[in-house]
């Protein structure tokens, strides 16, 4: 079996750098909810995303600034695809890229575990 270059003790910490960058992004408020909404090939327009994102608290809705920032960050990292249609008024849809779908699948066990421990408390 071929060893991963991150398997040796002296290289393990540099290998966490990409993971830490991704975890920093997905741990920002609303990132996981955005990824969850867009999974399995779903497409959303900006206003549809905005109206769908909430934490369950009436006052806790995503702001325009935060939604725009998260969409830019997730798109820049390659997790989202932004598709602009040549129409008037302009139509823009967001969806997960293949990388984003893989991230969504990787996050599922964490989300399931979190739901489980929340019900135990």
Distances (CA, A) of 109 to 103, 105, 115: 11, 8, 10
The pLDDT score that the predictor gives to residue 59 is: 65
The pLDDT score that the predictor gives to residue 48 is: 92
Domain 9-120 has CATH 1.10.10.10: yes
Q: What is the CA radius of gyration of the chain?
A: 17
The pLDDT score that the predictor gives to residue 61 is: 84
Structure token digits, residue 43: 């497409």
Residues 29-62 as b or e (16 or more Cβ within 10 Å = b): ebbbbbbbbbbeeeebebeebbeebeeeeeeeeb
Distance, in Å, from the CA atom of 118 to the CA atom of 113, rounded to the nearest integer, reads 9
For the chain, give every domain's residue range: 9-120
For the whole model, what pTM was predicted?
Answer: 0.80
Number of C-beta neighbours around residue 94 at 10 A = 22
Q: What is the mean pLDDT of each run of 10 residues along the chain (121 residues)?
A: 53 73 91 92 92 72 93 96 92 96 93 86 66
């Amino acid at each position: 079996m071929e060893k991963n270059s991150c398997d040796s003790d002296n290289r393990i910490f540099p290998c966490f750098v990409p993971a830490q960058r991704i975890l920093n992004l997905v741990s920002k408020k609303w990132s996981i909810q955005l990824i969850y909404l867009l999974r399995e090939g779903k497409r959303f327009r900006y206003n549809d995303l905005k109206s769908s994102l909430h934490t369950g608290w009436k006052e806790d809705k995503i702001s325009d600034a935060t939604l725009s920032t998260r969409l830019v960050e997730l798109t820049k990292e390659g997790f989202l695809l932004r598709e602009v249609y040549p129409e008037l008024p302009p139509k823009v849809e967001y969806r997960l890229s293949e990388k984003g779908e893989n991230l969504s699948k990787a996050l599922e066990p964490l989300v399931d575990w979190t739901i489980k421990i929340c019900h135990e408390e």
